[in-house]
Chains A and B, each alone.
Chain A
Amino acid sequence: MPDRKGIYRKKRLDRGIKARADTIYLIASWREIFYLLLPRAFPVGFLLILPAVLHGYWQKVLVFACVYGLLALSWDLLASCGLFSLGQALFFGAGAYLAGGLNYYLHLPPLVTVPAATVGGGLLCAGLLAPVIRLRGVYFAMVTLMFPLLLMRGIETTGVLGGTHGLSALSPFPGETLTAYLAVLAFLACLFLFRRLINSDYGLVLMAIRDDDRAVMSGGINIYWRKTQALFLAGSVGAFAGALMTHHFQFLGMSAFALDYSILPVAAVALGGQGSFAGAALGSMILVPLSESLRALGGLRIALYCIILMVSIVALPEGLFHYLERKYHQFETRAEVE
């Protein structure tokens, strides 16, 4: 058929390295080992070198990226069990105020305040959100959106914990490079821990709760207790990010509950892709440096995040990471239509 000639279709084939399940590989050569390790080892190595190479301003940007990355990972964990949070600022602020308060009023060193804020912040967030854990989807999102605003206004009105002026002259970490390494290591640890967790039986139950909570309940599993545990984990990670930033800035103010900390993680996950944690990490590593390089825009940055968020949801619902993953693991050839 001459008139059909020149019509091609895309043909997609999986590279033949997966055996039986997604996590079991059949490796036959060094080339294949390299193929599998490259996408894992390269970003890790790159991130570990960065704090030593970067200086001054861009080192700060790296810390920002890791902090937002932690918040995005924490968001992704909650989303895995069906809790959609629009208030990552709550976790961040809780950690920031705990660490800052302990340091300012009790003069405890960062070595104590950061771990204390991590655990305490997780407990606080889980405790605050436990009463609304039965809410689904939109309703849970609304409560989490309101909580940081409520706490922010509460601090503003009552004037506790420094009120509108905040607390300043907090103890810094010893050295900028050390801070950067702490942030990078925490970020990588959290990324791999969460990826491990979600592939375990524990993660299986969490994801099942998202898909069909009634079926999980009929399996004798207390879904609210599991969700509370997930909240504690996510809250701890967010609180750690807050505590880190507080000591990094040596200042603590109401801005710890700002909308930035709620929106950017969601935008990062929407851009990177939900469900794999790598997407969240990738998204924040792209978004934060991008927005920092556009710093001249000032307040427009939030608008930019929002626009990226909208475009990712409407135009690229699977996310960048899943798109890249597909491209990496599949041949795409053009086959002539017969």
Chain B
Amino acid sequence: MSKASETILAVERVRKRFGGILAVFDVSFELKAGEFLGIIGPNGSGKTTLVNLITGFVKPDGGRVFFKGRDITSFMPYRIADMGIARTFQMVRLFYNLPAYKNIIIPLCSSRVRRLGAGRYGEKDDMAVDLLDDMGFERDSYVPYKTAGSLPHGYLKRLDLARAMALRPEVLILDELFSGMSLSEVASTLPLIEKFHEEGLSIIMIEHRLKELFRVVDRVLVLNFGRKIADGSPQEVMENEEVRKAYLGIEVEIL
């Protein structure tokens, strides 16, 4: 396990200001290969902005992001995705008038998947259905072929996850994957993510459901008002005074 100590993603003092609001201020952290990192923080603490900064959807005012030692700060989102950082969206961005499996075709058309060896025309459909089958869309049912717009919310979230996984990423960033999911949907999705982690995928998970998050992650990073206030193992973070203050004790008690 020499790979486990290698840094795959490094964020160095990134900063972003929207108008007068400091969304993210001087946040730095490193992600080791194969690590499972959780990012938590109250609403508006800059979690989603941090994801946007890493994946290139927002350009930082300062600071840098490195992926496998390469500076990717100024890269366009598609280039970052092409290098192997896939993400899901908090508000799912899908093509609702397309059949569910057709949504997966789009990443399968990328040059990354072609490089890694994807099928020719026609085979992509099979690959998409295979992938959806893995995510719990039963291939023999009508579900993968229904238009995405007619599926319930929990399925949409998993469809978004399937779309991210279609890229065969090295780093997966989940932006509040469980928000809006029912308990049973969470219970069926969580093992999937644990499986990805066991297979060696590095994962960053942003979540409000602390109970589920703390069960699976190796390390937790806490943001508040755009600043990093804690970074450590779940135990360390839970005992941190500042974290308790940020959450006003409410959610920490649930733990």
Contacts and interface: CB of A to CB of B under 8 A. Distances in A.
B86 A218 contact: yes
Interface in A184-205: 200-202, 204-205
Given A21-B145, A218-B89, A221-B107, A208 B95 contact: yes
Contacts of A21: 99, 145
Interface string A195-232: 00000111011001001101111111111000000000
Contacts of B79: 222
B81 A204 contact: no
A205 B89 CA distance: 19
A20 B145 CA distance: 8
B106 A205 contact: yes
B77 interface: yes
A214 B87 CA distance: 12
Contacts of A221: 78, 106-107, 109-111
B156 to A, nearest CB: 12
Chain A interface residue number, banded: 20 to 34
B96 to A, nearest CB: 9
B115 to A, nearest CB: 10
Interface in A133-181: none
Interface residues of B, number: 33
B95 A215 contact: yes
Contacts of A20: 145
Nearest to B163: A219
A21 B97 CA distance: 12
A217 B87 CA distance: 11
Contacts of B112: 220
Contacts of B237: none
Nearest to A20: B145
Contact of A220 (B78, B93, B124): B78
Interface string B50-73: 000001010000000000000000
A200 B106 contact: no
Nearest to A212: B93
Interface string A76-91: 0000000000000000
23 contacts: A200-B121, A201-B109, A204-B106, A208-B98, A211-B95, A214-B77, A214-B93, A215-B93, A215-B106, A216-B78, A217-B77, A217-B81, A218-B57, A218-B87, A218-B89, A218-B164, A219-B81, A219-B167, A220-B86, A220-B110, A221-B109, A221-B110, A222-B76
